[in-house]
Chains A and B, each alone.
Chain A
Amino acid sequence: METLRSGKALTNSAALGCVFPWGMAIPEPDVEQADPAPAGPRRGAPVGRRIVLGMIGLGAVGVATGRWLSDGVSTVVASTAPALASVIPAAGGFRIYSVTSPHPEVAAEDYRLTVTGMVDRELSLSLADLAALPQTGMTKDFQCVTGWRVNDVPWSGVLLRDVLERAGVEEGAAALRFTSFDGVYTESLTLEQAMQPDVLVATSMFGAPIQVKHGAPVRLYVVPMYGYKSLKWLGGIEVARTVTPGYWEERGYDVDAYIGASNGRSDDPNV
């Protein structure tokens, strides 16, 4: 084994030259002259270094232009091979950021949406009850705070304010607390935000019942705010005096999560 360690003779001067074998413009001592035996490793063009530097360059270009490239990829995939979008998550479409395991599920006939707290009449609405309320549809974008956006999603359901009207909000109430029916995820809105005609208790997406991964059977859809406000698997609405920050808000995200005006982001508002 000792005999194979042929490099002994070149010692430190050679080591200097190859401390950063991938680096740029580090002068290499003339190893060949010091000892002809290890000429092997030093022969040939430094192609490896060029590949590494090329990848760093491409990576930088990708970071600088990826915002538009990814839009392009989404558009191309959506128009040529929509099925691909669900196979390649990076090709656009929804990304599912689940905080639970697994997704909560409830049988359609067992589902109830409860409205409690500072209300005149506490409600427990079945899917049939929700379907009997005035239905509202809208086609709007879904913008995630991490940067991705799904354009022109068709939504429908009941406006939150129509639900609140049925319950009757008491004097002095100013906030809502939402919980998923598994109890894990929570969200909040001020009463004023909730009464706008762009906050939906959604029962349908893309013209079909909401899928489990999107929050079946009922979820919130808060048009002007980032996606984390649009709580999935909606189980309970509690009317309260003050806002209690929700799941992601306890983890540093803004409570008032207006798209383009919160969380340090400048996305186009969803109007």
Chain B
Amino acid sequence: MSDDAVPPLRRFARAERWAHRSIAVLTLILMVTAALLFVPDLGNVVGNRQLVGLVHEIAGFALPIPIVLALFSRAFRDDAGRLNRFTSADWTWLRSRDRRSGRIRVGKFNAGQKLNAAFTLGAILVMLATGAMMFFSSLFTDNLRTGATFVHDWLGMAMVIVVLGHIYMAFNDATARRGMRTGEVPLDWARREHGEWADESERTSA
């Protein structure tokens, strides 16, 4: 493959991009409504607690839908499998101070992305379960309801930090954002950020 006409690499399928977009919108709705429900000084501005709560509940129960739908996509399942697996390069990458230099050649996802994906999925499941416990509160004892509220509150705050971190990382890498927006990334970016994946893609397209 000559360098002057390098075709971009396919990074995300359409189903994955739509799933990401849907989850992002729902997460934004959930976080804004959560802030209104949770922080008195913000809630005071909008009031209408019942309506805000209803929007939060609908968005919360809708959150798994794009994930379940995306499971029908081969590309999504394949990437989920990649995100699941940690190679020795991932551990080295996590431990190194120069992990951004490209010296350590990682696969399609780096260890930070893998940790983010695992945390996010785990958090969604726990938030969904504890949220459902609060929604169907009559089915649970007071202590379990209080426990569910406790977990929902603190994990929610942790999620805000992780999501802000995720947005910050994306903010600093326009090419990565383009990958999620258009589904394609330039080969040189892939070589620098995900060396092994670039090799793997070139091998399979050769």
A interface residues (Cβ-Cβ under 8 A, vs B): 1, 3-7, 15, 18-22, 37-38, 40-49, 51-56, 58-59, 62-67, 69-70, 88-90, 94-103, 146-148, 213, 251, 264-267
Q: Which of A7, A88, A264 contacts B74 (CB 8 A)?
A: A7
Determine the distance from Cα of A20 to Cα of B118 in the docked complex, in whole angstroms: 13
Task: Decide: B114 and A48 in contact? CB cutoff 8 A.
Answer: yes
Show 29 A/B contacts (Cβ-Cβ < 8 Å), sorted by A: A3-B205, A18-B77, A38-B78, A38-B204, A40-B82, A40-B108, A41-B81, A42-B85, A48-B117, A52-B122, A53-B122, A55-B126, A59-B151, A66-B147, A69-B150, A88-B157, A89-B153, A90-B38, A90-B154, A94-B40, A96-B40, A96-B43, A96-B44, A97-B49, A99-B47, A99-B50, A103-B47, A147-B142, A147-B146
* A252 shortest CB reach to chain B, Å: 10
Say yes or no: is B121 at the interface (Cβ < 8 Å to chain A).
yes
| Residues in B neighbouring A147, C-beta threshold 8 A | 142, 145-146, 149
Say yes or no: is B25 at the interface (Cβ < 8 Å to chain A).
no
A-B contact count (CB 8 A): 193
Residue of B with least CB distance to A265: B142
Task: Decide: B44 and A47 in contact? CB cutoff 8 A.
Answer: no
Determine the distance from Cα of A49 to Cα of B107 in the docked complex, in whole angstroms: 18
Q: Which of B56-64, B96-104, B166-174, B193-201 contacts A (4 or more CB under 8 A)?
A: B193-201
Q: Which 3 A-B pairs have the closest CB atoms?
A: A101-B47, A55-B122, A66-B150
* A173 shortest CB reach to chain B, Å: 32
Chain B, interface size: which category? 35 or more
| Residues in A neighbouring B78, C-beta threshold 8 A | 7, 18, 38, 41
* B62 shortest CB reach to chain A, Å: 20
* A30 shortest CB reach to chain B, Å: 14
Q: Which of B48, B71, B138 contacts A19 (CB 8 A)?
A: B71
Say yes or no: is B55 at the interface (Cβ < 8 Å to chain A).
no
Q: Which of A18, A64, A99 contacts B144 (CB 8 A)?
A: A64
Task: Decide: B43 and A98 in contact? CB cutoff 8 A.
Answer: yes
Say yes or no: is B21 at the interface (Cβ < 8 Å to chain A).
no
Task: Decide: B114 and A251 in contact? CB cutoff 8 A.
Answer: no
| Residues in B neighbouring A45, C-beta threshold 8 A | 85-86
Residue of A with least CB distance to B138: A264
| Residues in A neighbouring B119, C-beta threshold 8 A | 51, 55
Given A4-B201, A67-B143, does the pair A99, B83 have CB atoms closer than 8 Å? no
| Residues in A neighbouring B74, C-beta threshold 8 A | 7, 15
Residue of B with least CB distance to A248: B50
